[in-house]
Amino acid sequence: TSVAPALQATVRAAAGLTVSITSTATLSPTLAPAPAGGYRLVGYLPSSVYSRQFSLATIPVAHLTHIIYAFEGISTAGECTAADTKADAAIFPALRALKQQNPKLKTLISIGGYSRSAKFSDVAATVTTRRKFAQSCVKFMQQNGFDGIDIDWEFPVRGGLPGNVHR
């Protein structure tokens, strides 16, 4: 069995919240406003936009319920860590400004992704490592003004980059 659900449950418990992303979409400027309820319209914002000098002002946030900033990493100590501090220093304040302009917008921090999933198996291995990881992610989330956490473990059982541990 996979330990991914246990890791996700530990993060949710540590944060005192439940986040369930149910839908993603490619946006066009002609979309109707974000739905009042029933589903979520989610956009991924990769940290690589920083190197492309992308303006967050061009994101049609009136059409979104959530933005997921991707991706942060896992340190050798088994804690959430910034993957690109330079990008984060520019993008985090811009995301907070978007939230101030759009109070219903929720932002999440995504941990892992294809190139940063190597240590997930280690942090999910025991109750102690899951708790440490979850607490560090919640702290990272709160310190940086995010509303939730997205765990993007690729791939828990097999596949992914060479060097990914599978248990």
How far apart, in whole angstroms, are the C-alpha atoms of residue 85 and residue 71? 11
The set of residues, in sequence order, having a beta carbon less than 8 Å from that of 85 and lying 6+ positions away, is none
- Given 31, 54, 154, 155, the catalytic residue: 154
DSSP 114-137: GGG-TTHHHHTSSHHHHHHHHHHH
Cβ atoms within 10 Å of 53's Cβ, excluding its own: 7
Hey, what are 82's tokens? 């910034």
> What is residue 99's three-state secondary structure?
helix
Segments in the chain forming alpha helices (H): 4-15, 85-101, 120-123, 127-143
Active-site residue flag, 154: yes
- C-alpha torsion sign, points 99, 58, 144, 110: positive
The residues that are catalytic are 154
